[in-house]
Amino acid sequence: MKILPIDKFFAEMELSEDEKKRREDLANELLILFLLFFSEIEAEKVIQGDLSNVDTDYYKDMIFRQYCDKVEVYIVLVAALLGRRTLSDELKEDIRKRVSDIVDTTLKFDDEYYTSKDRATLLCENETNYVGNKSGYDIAKYQGYRHKQWLTMKDEKVRLTHAMVDSQVIGINEYHKVGQAEMLFPMDMSRNAYEHPEETVNCRCVEVYLR
């Protein structure tokens, strides 16, 4: 899998220039967070010889808190629009689950890729797109949009299963059926997409909301 630099990854997407910049900023913040985590894990390997005694809960809590802090900066306008001062409980729970998966996977595999900059870049781009797409969906529902449309990049990188739902218009509360996954919007994990990472990893699709 080819990993695109953060600026090029978001530059390709069908987003406003302001949103591209906001996502790029968040991704760079998350990149630093993941690289620091990876460096600590590598240090643990040197000091302890293996990862059998690593305090998994410590890393999950630490990354969760810092992840939420960075996302709060990103969604400040969203939170204000929705009458919130902090992240919703739903988004926090989603982030906690995603962080738990990242930590568990990092500790499970003794391979240099799992603590590499390539993986950190892939993670921060995907996590940022999840947060951005989730925020867009929440805003659209709040503003009374009733329909939505899945749009791909329409290039040679687009997965066949994503091309099959390109331009599909459905009700805002309905799920797109993308391969074996069901998603409210690209990167959505609220139903069964966790079981089908082939439909979410490195996805550049966007959702457009319609009255």
Q: Please, which residues have CB within 8 angstroms of residue 25's CB and are 6 or more apart in sequence?
A: 74
Model confidence pLDDT, tens digit, residues 88-130:
888 899 999 999 999 999 999 989 999 999 999 999 999 999 9
Give the mean model confidence (pLDDT) for residues 134-154: 93
Between 1 and 194, the more confident residue is 194
How far does the chain reach from its first CA to its final CA, in angstroms? Answer: 37
Per-residue pLDDT at 48: 87
CA distance 68 to 142: 22
- Written as six digits, the tokens of 97 are 């689950």
- Please determine, for residue 85, whether its predicted confidence score (pLDDT) is greater than 70: no
**Helix, strand or coil, per DSSP, at residue 170:** strand
In DSSP notation, 15-39 reads --HHHHHHHHHHHHHHHHHHHHHHH
Give the mean model confidence (pLDDT) for residues 161-171: 98
**Helix, strand or coil, per DSSP, at residue 70:** helix
For residue 53, which amino acid is it?
N
Model confidence pLDDT, tens digit, residues 66-83:
999 999 888 876 666 666
Per-residue pLDDT at 142: 86
Per-residue pLDDT at 81: 64
* Residue 21 banded pLDDT, cuts 50, 70, 90: very high
Q: Given its phi and psi angles, is residue 49 left (phi above 0), alpha (psi -120 to 50 degrees) or beta?
A: left
How many C-beta neighbours within 10 Å does residue 103 have? 22
* Residue 49 banded pLDDT, cuts 50, 70, 90: confident
Nearest to 91, CA basis, from 68, 115, 62: 68
Mean pLDDT of the chain: 93
* Residue 3 banded pLDDT, cuts 50, 70, 90: confident
Per-residue pLDDT at 12: 85
Give the mean model confidence (pLDDT) for residues 29-43: 97
Please report, rounded to a whole number, the percentage of residues in the chain having pLDDT higher than 90: 78
Please state the separation of Cα 113 from the chain's center in Å: 19
- Please determine, for residue 2, whether its predicted confidence score (pLDDT) is greater than 70: yes
How many C-beta neighbours within 10 Å does residue 61 have? 14
- Please determine, for residue 149, whether its predicted confidence score (pLDDT) is greater than 80: yes
- Please determine, for residue 143, whether its predicted confidence score (pLDDT) is greater than 90: no
